[in-house]
Amino acid sequence: MTLTLAEVTRLLDRRYPPRTAESWDRVGLVAGDPAQPVRRVLFAVDPVAAVVDEALDWGADLIVTHHPLLLRGVHAVAATDYKGALLHRLIRGGCALYAAHTNADSATGGVADQLAGLLGLTTTRPLVPAPAQALDKHVVFVPVEQAGALVDALAAAGAGAIGEYR
């Protein structure tokens, strides 16, 4: 079964959620038709000319890179400049481009975890912890015999003991 670019993108977004990327980062689908079939994927660190050459020569339908091609504001995609020329070649060659950068770095089992594992590190923590999720506290009175069922239902909904919230 051949997946579409939209389906592959959805899988990548699930594994490396874009919402976990740093605010300055540009992740996700850069170029490509979501309806196109994806049979061959090339993975690379940087979207440079040699990678595009290899992908097109190999017949890749998608390049997934760690670093984004378009990190700063884009004012033009002219084929006369380096990045514009790469995009034009990819589009003409029917090859999509997707970037997973800081979202892949911070994902559980992602780049940082893999590198830590290769180095034999067993106790790790983020250099900069992710901001805490906004929480809301509710006080509920329930008959004692129903307390267990309520706790189970609340836990299933994502509630629980977090820091000072118990």
Per-residue pLDDT of the chain (166 residues; tens, 9 = 90+): 899 999 999 999 999 999 989 999 999 999 999 999 999 999 999 999 999 999 999 999 999 999 999 988 888 899 999 999 999 999 999 999 999 999 999 888 888 889 999 999 988 887 777 666 666 777 888 898 988 888 888 877 777 655 555 4
Flag whether 53 is marked binding: no
Three-state DSSP state, 65: strand
Place of tokens 């004012």: 75
pLDDT value, residue 166: 46
- The CATH homologous superfamily for domain 3-118 is NIF3 (NGG1p interacting factor 3)-like (3.40.1390.30)
CA 157 remoteness from chain centre: 25
pLDDT value, residue 136: 73
pLDDT value, residue 132: 66
Measured in degrees and rounded to the nearest 5, phi and psi for residue 49 equal -55, -40
pLDDT value, residue 160: 65
Three-state DSSP state, 14: helix
Token pair, residue 68, equals 């984004």
pLDDT value, residue 85: 96
User: DSSP string covering 99-156, please?
Assistant: E--HHHHHSTTSHHHHHHHHTT--S---SSPPPPPP---------GGGHHHHHHHHHH
**Residues 73, 46: Cα–Cα separation, whole Å:** 18
Question: Residue 58 contacts by C-beta under 8 Å, 6 or more apart in sequence?
Answer: 40, 42
pTM: 0.75
pLDDT value, residue 163: 52
Q: How many CA atoms lie within 13 A of 60 on its CB side?
A: 23
Flag whether 138 is marked binding: no
Flag whether 88 is marked binding: no
